[in-house]
């Protein structure tokens, strides 16, 4: 029997061709020229994930047989004893995706063929439109329609530029209120309902609309809001509740027929198992690298299929092109694929990540290259180093100055 191909090195790269810092993992092997690439992007804590890989995971991985993907994932997950956190999961994901990339390159097949083959030729996508008021949002939606998009997520943008939580509460705050990203949940709900009314009034049913509450309402306000948006027939309403209030989905589900999506903040199996097996949501939205990569995502997609739940993996700008391509392979082979969140990368990102899939008429098309199908220009990536900053938008505050959820 031929000697196994083993991991000879693990390298990490942080690049920022656009708004977000992206973390790429490169797994090199004992076979010259054979390497894999994976996405480990937790943009808010990108340096912590890089340090975990460079200082801990790399030593664990060197010398292991590249074909033992599941074994490596299970062992690496518990190697630090404590597990299921955002930093460890993203580190695992970078390595896991790279090992799947290597397997596809060895087989000479695109990953979706290794996952059982295509259930569809391309993945329907949605992308984002926002605006300071309803007519700005309508203009942006119409511009995307003209590009061929049929599914659009619509949000009102705050004065400060954020798109979650609407209405900056300039109203009276207690003396000495702390600085922060203020928002007013009740005004947000009212303004958003007004925006959806105007959108349907102008565009009718000719476009599928999605909206992200981004956990900005109290549980009972979320129940009321999910009922109030029913007439607008949303494709889905996302993150109506925070992960900490999952149990409220039982009530929410009973009270509304609006399709519900949840999961981008999930890191622990308990979180996605419950909302799936209770049939509390219609779309799971996990960020694949926050789960630990392709290996867990495949298993969870299969579980969701059994409960009539579809996938809508998290895919904004803080998922790298490698991560988007990995999502796409999962989606092409999943019978219960729902929709792909697309962030419209700039041409710089396409140059740094050759092979990044492209959208045509609202569909994301894979390349037929073996593995994940996206490469990485390390030299060009180094020209766009990360800019570090303290997150402002996550410092959310309610009108009375008390901490809110971002
Ligand atoms: C989405 C998300 C994002 C997150 C962002 C956090 O649905 O796309 O809510 O916009 O806020 O990924 O870094
Ligand atoms: Mg979201």
pLDDT digits (tens, 9 = 90+) for 346-367: 999 999 999 999 999 999 999 8
- CA distance linking residue 70 with residue 87, whole number of Å: 19
Cβ atoms 204, 233 nearer than 8 A: no
214 is catalytic: yes
Q: Give distance in angstroms: CA of 239 to centre of ligand 1.
A: 10
Instruction: Count CB-CB contacts under 10 A for residue 3.
Output: 7
pLDDT at 167 over 70: no
164 is catalytic: yes
Closest ligand to residue 22's CA: 1
Q: What is the mean pLDDT of residues 181-200?
A: 95
> Ion ligand 2 — residues with CB under 5 Å?
212, 264
Pick from 9, 73, 132: nearest CA to 297? 73
Q: Give distance in angstroms: CA of 264 to centre of ligand 2.
A: 6
pLDDT at 159 over 90: no
Nearest protein Cα to ligand 1, atom 2 = 316
Pocket of ligand 1 (CB under 6 A): 43, 212, 214, 264, 316, 318, 341
Q: Give distance in angstroms: CA of 396 to centre of ligand 2.
A: 15
pLDDT for residue 172? 75
pLDDT at 38 over 80: yes
Nearest protein Cα to ligand 1, atom 1 = 316
Residue for token digits 């942006």? Answer: 140
pLDDT at 168 over 60: no
To test the pocket of ligand 1, the residue of 165, 242, 264, 320 to mutate (highest count of ligand atoms within 8 Å of its CB) is 264
Q: Looking at ligand 1, which atom is closest to the CA of residue 406?
A: 11
The reported pTM is 0.97
pLDDT (tens digit per residue) in 303-313: 999 999 999 99
Mean pLDDT of the chain: 96
Closest ligand to residue 317's CA: 1
Q: What is the DSSP letter of 388?
A: P
pLDDT at 2 over 70: yes
pLDDT at 170 over 60: no
């Amino acid at each position: 029997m031929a000697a196994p191909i083993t991991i000879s090195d693990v390298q990490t790269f942080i690049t920022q061709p656009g708004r977000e810092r992206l973390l790429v993992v490169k797994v090199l092997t004992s076979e010259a020229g054979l390497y894999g690439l994976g996405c480990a992007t937790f943009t808010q804590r990108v340096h912590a994930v890089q340090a975990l890989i460079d200082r801990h995971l790399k030593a664990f991985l060197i010398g292991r047989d590249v074909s033992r993907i599941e074994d490596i994932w299970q062992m690496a997950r518990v190697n630090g004893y404590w597990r299921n956190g955002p930093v460890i999961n993203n580190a695992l994901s970078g390595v896991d995706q790279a090992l799947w990339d290597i397997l596809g390159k060895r087989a000479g097949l695109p990953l979706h063929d290794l996952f059982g083959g295509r259930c569809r030729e391309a993945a329907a996508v949605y992308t984002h439109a926002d605006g300071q008021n309803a007519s700005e949002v309508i203009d942006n939606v119409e511009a995307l329609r003209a590009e061929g998009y049929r599914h659009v997520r619509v949000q009102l943008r705050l004065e400060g530029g954020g798109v979650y939580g609407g209405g900056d509460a300039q109203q009276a705050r207690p003396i000495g209120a702390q600085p922060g990203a203020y928002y007013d949940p009740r005004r947000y709900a009212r303004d958003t309902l007004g925006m959806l009314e105007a959108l349907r009034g102008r565009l009718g049913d000719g476009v599928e609309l999605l909206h992200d509450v981004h956990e900005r309402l109290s549980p009972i306000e979320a129940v009321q809001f999910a009922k109030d948006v029913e007439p607008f027939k949303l494709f889905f309403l996302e993150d109506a509740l925070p992960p900490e209030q999952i149990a409220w989905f039982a009530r929410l589900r009973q009270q509304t027929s609006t399709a519900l999506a949840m999961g981008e903040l999930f890191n622990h199996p308990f979180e996605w198992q419950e909302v799936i097996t209770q049939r509390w949501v219609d779309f799971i939205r996990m960020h694949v690298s926050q789960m630990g990569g392709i290996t867990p995502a495949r298993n969870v997609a299969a579980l969701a299929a059994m409960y009539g739940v579809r996938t809508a993996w998290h895919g904004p700008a803080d998922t790298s092109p490698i991560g988007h391509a990995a999502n796409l392979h999962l989606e092409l082979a999943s019978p219960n694929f729902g929709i792909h969140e697309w962030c419209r990368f700039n041409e710089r990102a396409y140059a740094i990540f050759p092979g990044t899939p492209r959208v045509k008429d609202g569909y994301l098309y894979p390349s037929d290259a073996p593995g994940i199908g996206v490469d990485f220009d390390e030299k060009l990536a180094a020209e766009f180093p990360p800019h570090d900053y303290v997150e402002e938008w996550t410092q959310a505050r309610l009108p009375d100055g008390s901490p809110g959820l971002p």
